[in-house]
Amino acid sequence: MATVATTTARPATLALVLLIGLAILLNYIDRGAIAIASPVLKPELGLSNTEYGYAVSAFFWTYVPIQFFIGWACDRWCVYRLIAIGIAVWALSTLAMGLVGGLLSLVIFRLFLGLGESITFPGASKVIARHVAPENRGLANSVVAAGIALGPVVGTFAGGLMVASYGWRPMFVVFGLITLLWVIPWLLTARRLPTFAPAGREPPVPIRITARTKEVWAMGIGHFGATYPLYFIIIWVPLYLTKTRGFSITDMTYLATLGFIAQALSAVGQGWLSDRLVRAGRDEALVRRTLMVGGNVMMAVSILALMQAEDAATIGLWLVIFGAAAATGGVNLYAIAQIFAGPRASGTFIGIQNGLGNVPGIIMPIVTGLIIDWTGSYDNAFKLTAAVCAAAALWWLIGVPKIRRVIPD
């Protein structure tokens, strides 16, 4: 078998992990840019809340179903080239959204954005499982989690200021060009690795073996519970703060940024802490399961509290608490999947898990838009999101099987 066992201390691998973190950051900047633009994009294009929900959801119409194929492809073909191609597609799609003239063209480019971004998490987990030792797994995945958090930080802050100063169209063009430039250092770094060439790659595990395990489907359900509230905060809170609470785009930018900064700091802290506990002899599976339960409980509490918050300081506080809790999923979802799958099947496993886990991206924007249009209020949307978090906490207690390697070498 040609499995490569390296650590994050080696320069090429360290650069690879950092570039993955940057790719995740750009991923969340580009997929979330529509939410930053929404306060001015919606009225300019004449979109209702439901139509805006469809435009947001369109990203996941391609992103979710292709996960089941792209994960298998990451185990079978050159994952480094697949990542480069996918990121180029999504960069060009982001850039093109600055040229849209209505709902149809917006939906089309969101479909291509989902197609390109589908490579990110299966590809990232394949690279981490292949190159990072178990005792460094938490910290490596915390780079992914920090990217999930910092993407909205940078996107909300820089995008919000650009929209306020120059309009929403230039924001999409700038974000797309920056993402396209990322491909250059990625390919230069990946070419230094022995697994870039076909002879250095391990043989793939047949997809039927992974798909038959109950663990991958259980993880998909747990993943669902982590992404539903995160997407709710990213997609709808900018509109909620500006349209319902009356904040300016600039004030909304600062408030939302607080939560995402907390998420990034919490991700790094949780990654470091979980690795330290594992090195000290604590059971890795128990550590990560406990963090997932606690994180989902705190997300439920913070979402309900955010709904009832009366002033900017209290809103900012609960966004910070939500962000710190949401980081738990980014650190542990992929680390647990890497334990279940091992290096050879991690792409396929994450592809199935990520496909199921991102179904909220299809249904949540539309359901939330319908709730707001029908009731004239966000309250029931907040309550539904909190209920999903509470159910996810229970699922991690009793629904996810014993965390151990289930895919054989």
Say what the pLDDT of residue 127 is: 83
In angstroms, the Cα distances linking 104 to 51, 54, 63, 114, 367 are 10, 10, 18, 15, 20
Rounded distance, CA 37 to CA 41, Å?
A: 5
**pLDDT tens digits for 54-98?**
888 888 899 888 887 888 888 788 888 999 999 999 999 999 999
Q: What angle do CA 259, 24, 33 make, to 5 degrees?
A: 65
Helix H segments across 240-311? 249-279, 284-308
In angstroms, the Cα distances linking 402 to 54, 387, 399, 405 are 38, 25, 10, 9
Say what the pLDDT of residue 194 is: 60
Say what the pLDDT of residue 363 is: 86
Ranges of beta strands (E only) in 36-115 are none
Say what the pLDDT of residue 395 is: 96
DSSP-derived letter for residue 102 is S
**CA Rg value for the chain:** 20
Say what the pLDDT of residue 8 is: 39
Ranges of beta strands (E only) in 50-140 are none
> pLDDT by residue for the chain (409 residues), tens digit each?
333 334 434 666 778 888 988 999 999 888 878 888 888 888 888 888 788 888 888 888 998 888 878 888 887 888 889 999 999 999 999 999 999 888 899 999 999 999 999 898 888 888 887 777 766 767 777 777 778 778 877 887 888 888 888 889 999 999 999 999 999 999 888 877 665 555 445 666 777 888 889 999 999 999 999 999 988 988 888 888 888 888 887 788 788 888 888 888 888 888 888 878 888 888 888 888 999 999 999 999 999 999 998 888 999 999 999 999 998 887 788 888 888 887 777 778 888 888 888 888 888 888 888 898 898 889 999 999 999 999 999 999 999 999 888 877 6
> Can you tell me which residue has the tokens 């980081």?
327
Say what the pLDDT of residue 10 is: 60
The values of phi and psi at residue 133, to 5°, are -70, 155
Rounded distance, CA 354 to CA 372, Å?
A: 28
